[in-house]
Amino acid sequence: MDQTDKKIIEELCSNSRITMKELGERVHLTAPAAAARVEKLEDNGVIEGYSIRVNQAKLGCFMYTFINIYIEGTHHLPYLSFIQTKESYIINNYKISGDSCYLLECRFPSNDALNQFLLELNKYANYKLSIVINK
């Protein structure tokens, strides 16, 4: 991987919908040469996929939270089953090391939705809630 490949990745991270013509111009290659480089990066697993950023507030999800999950012993399966039923709120469920077992990254449309989620969560695990003020 050379500097041109790194620049291609940087450009694609900034805008994954860029045309190969425009990408080529930005990295000083022809469109076919840029496309070939991108394909090689994909084939080698350097580029694993493409994604979009969604403005969650415009979708009605205003509360962004992190929730540290604490589970006693080995009772993880009921918790994991529970969070599968709450996929609309959960962005990521990270299994982590340290004091807690998991770190939930969530979005909620209202305080009521968050409160209901926490009431149900408390049946499966203890938690520590952090609400994001600004990101």
Do 119 and 72 fall into the same domain?
yes
Distance CA 72, CA 101 (A): 9
> What is the CATH classification number for the domain harbouring 106?
3.30.70.920
Whether 75 and 114 share a structural domain: yes
Q: How far apart are CA 133 and CA 68, in angstroms?
A: 17
Residue at 74: amino acid letter: T
Which residue's structure tokens are 């994909």?
42
Domain membership flag for residue 94: yes
> 30-50: per-residue pLDDT in tens?
999 999 999 999 999 999 998
* 50 within a domain of the structure (yes/no): no
Quote the Cα angle for 36-38-39, to 5°.
Answer: 65
Residues 31 and 85 placed together within one structural domain of the fold: no
Residue 135 has, within 13 A of its CA and on its CB side, a CA count of 11
Distance from the first to the final alpha carbon of the chain: 33
Q: In the prediction, which pLDDT does 60 show? A: 67
Residue 115, domain extent: 56-131
Q: Say how many CA atoms lie within 13 Å of 121 toward its Cβ.
A: 23
Q: Are 90 and 84 in contact (CB under 8 A)?
A: no
Assigned token pair, 43: 């084939």
CATH code, 18? 1.10.10
**Are 22 and 84 members of one domain?**
no
Stretches where the chain sits below pLDDT 50 are: none
Number of domains in the chain: 2
Same domain for 68 and 123:
yes
* Rounded Cα distance, 124 and 134, in Å: 29
Q: What is the pLDDT of residue 61?
A: 62
